[in-house]
Structure 1
Amino acid sequence: MTASCTSKTKPADSTLPTNAGAGETGLSSAAGNGTANSEELSENILVNQVGYKIDDKKIAIIKGFDKKFKVIETATGKAVLSKDTTGKVNDESSGDTVSYADFSELKTVGSYYISVEGLGKSYDFKIGDGNLFSKVNEAMVKALYYQRCGMALDSKYAGEYAHASCHTGRARLYGNEETEIDVSGGWHDAGDYGRYVVPAAVTAADLMLAYEFYPQSFENKYNIPESTNNIPDILDEVKYGLTWMLKMQDKQTGGVYHKVTSRNFPDLTAMPDTDVDELLVMPVSTTATADFAAVTAMASRIFKDFDPSFSQQCRIASLKAWNWLETNKDFVQYKNPQDVTSGEYGDSSGKDEKAWAAAELLRATGDKKYNDYFKANYGTEGFGLGWQNVSGFAAISYLFSDQSAIDSKKAEEIKKAWLEKADMFVSTAEKDGYLLAMHKMEYTWGSNMNVANHAIHLLIADKLSNNEKYTETAANCVHYFLGRNTMNQSYITGYGSKKVMQPHHRPSVGDGVAEPVPGLLVGGPDSALEDDVSRSKLSGKAPAQCYIDDMNSYSSNEVATYWNSAAIFVFSFMSSR
């Protein structure tokens, strides 16, 4: 299994003409207004378009080689810093030659831009405290509320993105058409309306880990229906997703159905409440059952003090799923039938999923049998944190378990390998022109998930072995997301000056609102060019440049809950300090 492979198998959706009215260039005119400087905006001066924390490293990246730069105060047009650039780095992933404008010594709160004589100016950015990133983080969590299925999104909470309830009818069990099941709820997985257990488990796990490691980042309320129940809103969102997953467990056997979708993707303009195609529950799979066992065991621990009844319900369901895994030792693979073309989320092995389940059940119960299974079946290759390889989640669970319950030699072996991979990420970032822990081969479908998951790995490494190099390299991933990249593009809807305006996301296309649903992380550059728009517009581009803000480019501009959740973990770190 390949951690960097994140695409769902899916055909092209019905195409629409580009919506120029949503912003032909995506450029903000605000960058040049209200200042005493009339310089032209340059696409070659790249900054985090939201900003930088006061005491953090602050670096802008300049395409080409320029020897001097200035930091200009936006309000006055006055230069507050003038320095030489450093470096002349040839970046393999983008094909760019870049230099660095390091203005870390500037610690005055305010709004600024970078100026390079003869080249122009950057977008504005702020210098401030952790609130710069907490607002983005909150928006990314709230975006999961907008992805909720099975309930009306009331304007009290959803504002102009409100819509009526959707997908509330009973679904037919595929292959057993007489059986209908209530599987309402959960999240719309991506730009479509399918609900899939495997990626939903990853989404929930990311969110619970973010809360577990950085609880101080989730003290605010996000204006969701559960905001008054004295449970952190991020955990309310997790509970909404898991309540649906509990419905996907077969009550007799404990096995978990793989997904519920219609046979085909609806039209790109379809709003959730207008999608009335027949819903089908697809058969039980090993991966869905093992991921379910893992994430419900995790929830039994996380919710113990907040919602004891739900905690116990999750514990019972997890044990029942594990019993199914013990009874069905042969791998039960899921593949789409010929008449179903919605996302497959298939896999060729369930080894990593079962190891994750064992690790989480060990941490939740302390039962020695799970430790025995884990030791016998877990290797240290990969440490994946995506839906196709969950071995990294297994490692995190084992390493942070009660030390009296685990094998110290096994834990030390895992820790050593984890830190070695973290060091590799640091080394990769040091050689990369954009200071990013990404190899050129990793710009695949959902490359932004790869960026976020590398950052998660680094942040866990910092928890295991306090090292500023790890946190600095993780922070560079956030700068990348918010515009410090070869595209000069913020990849998060609603944030940055050049922000995504046309995500492949049906509610954003069909709701008639000019701005897309905010807080959604798009997939990012995909060098395989896996849709018609990418193939026609991006052929011959370097891997990191294989992105286009076009609603029909599902391989570069779709969204997914498990991309958001990975980024939420990283942003929660940035807003916690």
Structure 2
Amino acid sequence: VRVGRQTREFWNGDIGPFPHNTLYLHAFHLALPKPLDPAHNYRVMVTTGLDEGLTREMTLAADPAGFRSPAIKVNQVAYSSRAKRYAYLGWWAGDLGAVDFSACREFSVFDEANGNEALRGPIVVRRAGDAFSGENVFEMDLSPLKPGRYHIRIAGLGRSDSFAVGGGLRELYVDAMRVFFHQRCGQELKEPWTTFKRPACHTKSYAGGYLVGNPNYKPKPDEEVREYVGGYHDAADNDCFTYHLRATAQTLTVFERFPKLFTDGELNIPESGNGIPDLLDEARWALFFYRDHQMPDGAVPLGRGNDEDYLRDYERQHKNRPPFGILPPSNTAATEFAAVAAQFARLYEPYNQQEAGTFLAAARKAFAWAQKNPTKPQPEKGEALLLGWAAAELFCTTGEEPYNETVRKAFAAGHFTKYHWQFDWVAPVMWWPYAATTRENADPAVRKALRDLLIKRADLKVEDTEKPAYRMGEGERGGGWGSLAGGGRQAWPCILAHLLTGEQKYLDAAALNADFQLGANPLSRTFITGIGSRFPGAPQINPTLYKGPNKTGETVKGITVYGPVAPKPEPQKLPGWYPEQTPPWRSWRDIGWGGAEVCSEFTITETTGNTAALYAYLYALETVRPAKPSSGE
């Protein structure tokens, strides 16, 4: 018997009077000379080294039907029934290296409804000596399975986690969308909408820019107080920004193609029961603060500081805080609001024509202000791209030629293709409206060029998804801040290309990236809280979204964390981990009290919107066919 070890951070935080502690999880691997015999039970003992009172032994049965092996990697929730799907076999055992599963030649899939074998197939080598996982990776083709609930069994090894084909995608969509509700600023969290409790937050601010109740601020006598509500907390911190609206744009894009599927009451939010689809109600929450606090000249505030880092940085730079903590307007705040408010207005109009008109009027004013007030001396990052996006959405909603001409000019000037690199992953959101419009007066050459951009980006994602041993759209590159977790960030261009063309390869790539996010990855874990069999245990989220004290216990379901980080595609050295070098796609620090934000945090912009949109789309395809866009005659 050979014994190996892997050690990683398990939890960090304060323990009594002792701050900033880290607890480590030590995993020991026993490499046996032959498989365990199912006819016997086995006792494993640690004979020395454990303190009194700790468990020193356990008994296990070698039962392939009952032992769940994390080495059998599946989408732990729900595969799309309309796309390719795979399971994988492989494991990295710390200082023992890659586990040899070459003796495993065949797998069986069992239907959990009747207990019968539903599929039998070969276990095929996918990648020997895979540097990204540290494994010898094998694959199992699950594509022949029909909708149902299943698990895999491999003789001499065990069974996989249970998984669905087709069913379960609606629940994924609901859980992902409800993250927006739990991130609402100014919303009381209470039953019947949620079992997580929090009073309405950040609602009152002093004229000096501090929240009422901030112990570090002494207000002036009779200092004015104003109340605010609306928008979303950015992440674990609580500031609100207009750039969250691109996440709302993604969910609205899916709604526009499936307008009858998403209904009132499905998300269990305070607005449920008002006769308006909950998805639209959630989009309204994202937008109304910016509409209601638009300045007379059309400028739109960037957001609310809520005593968080952005506001403190502003104070250090300007020597004071903006009045009431409302972040000053910017060109991109105006155009992002204009784009999403125009998109929302055309979708909301059948339900509330009068209020939809107020959003469209505010979008017009914001766009006009942005045109007249370019940022000087240097434009903001993405300024020209966002102006083109706003013009495109206003054109789709109104059909008016001035907006159409602005899109033409923006495209001719290269604004849709030349932008700051930080906008590269989100640029397809901004290409989409004009590429998909059916307006008769749209410029066919510009529309085709934007369609071609989308399809080219999606083709690259299809190609990159197939490159790694565990299929995922970042290809064989380094990354972080969400780029190595699969999911909607990688799938979004493929979803848009599938909407444009209907080609199966785009749906396959989108679904494979969902599978990676949901457990078909080297870690055999999901990157969404509360979802699947093994999910983030210590995400960096607001403490009120944990059930226990000091960020312990159950968390809100549906929050997509950033996942693994490896700046370069090479082994990573992580604090206190053993062995000293960890394969790059296993380099995920699941700790929630700071120091690992790049792995364990999230944002509305970077993870929440694209996750909700991905599972909304996959759920929709299990149910109905997409409609033509409403942005035309």
- In the alignment, the residues of structure 2 paired with residue 566 and residue 385 of structure 1 have an alpha-carbon distance, to the nearest angstrom, of 19
* 1:168 is aligned to 2:207: no
* 1:381 is aligned to 2:417: yes
- In the alignment, the residues of structure 1 paired with residue 404 and residue 226 of structure 2 have an alpha-carbon distance, to the nearest angstrom, of 35
1:362-409 deviations in Å (ceiling 9; x for gaps): 112222122222222234538999867653223111012233231101
Gaps spanning 5+ residues in structure 1: where? 1-11, 26-31, 267-277, 335-346
Higher fraction of helix: 1
Q: Is the 8 A contact 1:385 1:391 kept in 2?
A: no
* Residue aligning to 1:3: none
* 1:85 is aligned to 2:123: yes
How has the CA–CA distance of structure 1 residues 540 and 286 changed in structure 2, closer, same or farther, with 3 Å as cutoff? farther
* AA of the residue aligned to 2:393: E
* Residue aligning to 1:226: 271
Please tell me the root mean square deviation across aligned C-alpha atoms, in Å: 3.6
* AA of the residue aligned to 1:324: W
* Residue aligning to 2:235: 190
Q: Is the 8 A contact 1:449 1:566 kept in 2?
A: no
2:257 pairs with 209, 213, 229, which one? 213
Shift of 1:257: 1.9
Larger RCO, structures 1/2 (Cα 8 Å, 6+ apart): 1
How has the CA–CA distance of structure 1 residues 446 and 16 changed in structure 2, closer, same or farther, with 3 Å as cutoff? farther
1:410 pairs with 431, 441, 446, which one? 446
- In the alignment, the residues of structure 1 paired with residue 418 and residue 155 of structure 2 have an alpha-carbon distance, to the nearest angstrom, of 46
* AA of the residue aligned to 2:603: A
* Residue aligning to 2:320: none
SS in 1 for 2:84: coil
* Residue aligning to 1:60: 87
Q: Is the 8 A contact 1:293 1:322 kept in 2?
A: yes
Count of residues paired in the alignment: 526
- In the alignment, the residues of structure 1 paired with residue 138 and residue 481 of structure 2 have an alpha-carbon distance, to the nearest angstrom, of 28
* AA of the residue aligned to 2:335: A
Q: Is the 8 A contact 1:286 1:332 kept in 2?
A: no
Q: Is the 8 A contact 1:353 1:389 kept in 2?
A: no
Shift of 1:179: 8.3
* AA of the residue aligned to 2:326: V
- In the alignment, the residues of structure 1 paired with residue 274 and residue 61 of structure 2 have an alpha-carbon distance, to the nearest angstrom, of 44
1:153-195 deviations in Å (ceiling 9; x for gaps): 2212112x022111110354769x9987643222112111111
1:512-567 deviations in Å (ceiling 9; x for gaps): 472101111111112249xx996554974333222122113221111222312211
Q: Is the 8 A contact 1:139 1:518 kept in 2?
A: yes
How has the CA–CA distance of structure 1 residues 207 and 24 changed in structure 2, closer, same or farther, with 3 Å as cutoff? farther
Q: Is the 8 A contact 2:205 2:325 kept in 1?
A: no
1:339-366 deviations in Å (ceiling 9; x for gaps): xxxxxxxx53411111111111111222
Q: Is the 8 A contact 1:55 1:107 kept in 2?
A: no
Q: Is the 8 A contact 1:113 1:122 kept in 2?
A: yes
TM-score with structure 2 setting the length: 0.75
Q: Is the 8 A contact 1:94 1:544 kept in 2?
A: yes
2:184 pairs with 148, 155, 162, which one? 148
Matches within 5 A, 1:324-473: 324-331=369-376, 348-378=381-411, 379=414, 380-381=416-417, 390-441=426-477, 443-447=479-483, 451-473=487-509
Runs of 4 or more consecutive aligned structure 1 residues displaced over 6 Å after TM superposition: 12-15, 32-36, 75-78, 177-180, 382-389
Q: Is the 8 A contact 1:448 1:522 kept in 2?
A: no
Shift of 1:51: 3.1
Q: Please identify the structure whose Cα radius of gyration is greater.
A: 2
SS in 2 for 1:71: strand
* Residue aligning to 1:520: 559
How has the CA–CA distance of structure 1 residues 458 and 150 changed in structure 2, closer, same or farther, with 3 Å as cutoff? same
- In the alignment, the residues of structure 1 paired with residue 536 and residue 200 of structure 2 have an alpha-carbon distance, to the nearest angstrom, of 27
Q: Is the 8 A contact 1:486 1:545 kept in 2?
A: yes
SS in 1 for 2:563: coil
- In the alignment, the residues of structure 1 paired with residue 575 and residue 292 of structure 2 have an alpha-carbon distance, to the nearest angstrom, of 40
Shift of 1:298: 1.2
- In the alignment, the residues of structure 2 paired with residue 171 and residue 163 of structure 1 have an alpha-carbon distance, to the nearest angstrom, of 22
* Residue aligning to 1:286: 331
1:398-450 deviations in Å (ceiling 9; x for gaps): 01223323110111112122212211211112222122221343632122687
Q: Is the 8 A contact 2:83 2:507 kept in 1?
A: no
Shift of 1:113: 2.3
How has the CA–CA distance of structure 1 residues 218 and 61 changed in structure 2, closer, same or farther, with 3 Å as cutoff? same
1:486-507 deviations in Å (ceiling 9; x for gaps): 1111111121000222110112
* Residue aligning to 1:490: 526
Matches within 5 A, 1:505-544: 505-506=541-542, 507-509=544-546, 512=549, 514-528=553-567, 535-537=575-577, 540-544=581-585
2:151 pairs with 99, 102, 113, which one? 113
SS in 2 for 1:227: coil
1:273-326 deviations in Å (ceiling 9; x for gaps): xxxxx9622222222111111111111211111121221111111111112112
- In the alignment, the residues of structure 2 paired with residue 317 and residue 171 of structure 1 have an alpha-carbon distance, to the nearest angstrom, of 26
- In the alignment, the residues of structure 2 paired with residue 449 and residue 74 of structure 1 have an alpha-carbon distance, to the nearest angstrom, of 29
- In the alignment, the residues of structure 2 paired with residue 485 and residue 503 of structure 1 have an alpha-carbon distance, to the nearest angstrom, of 19
* Residue aligning to 1:237: 282
SS in 1 for 2:329: coil
Shift of 1:197: 1.3
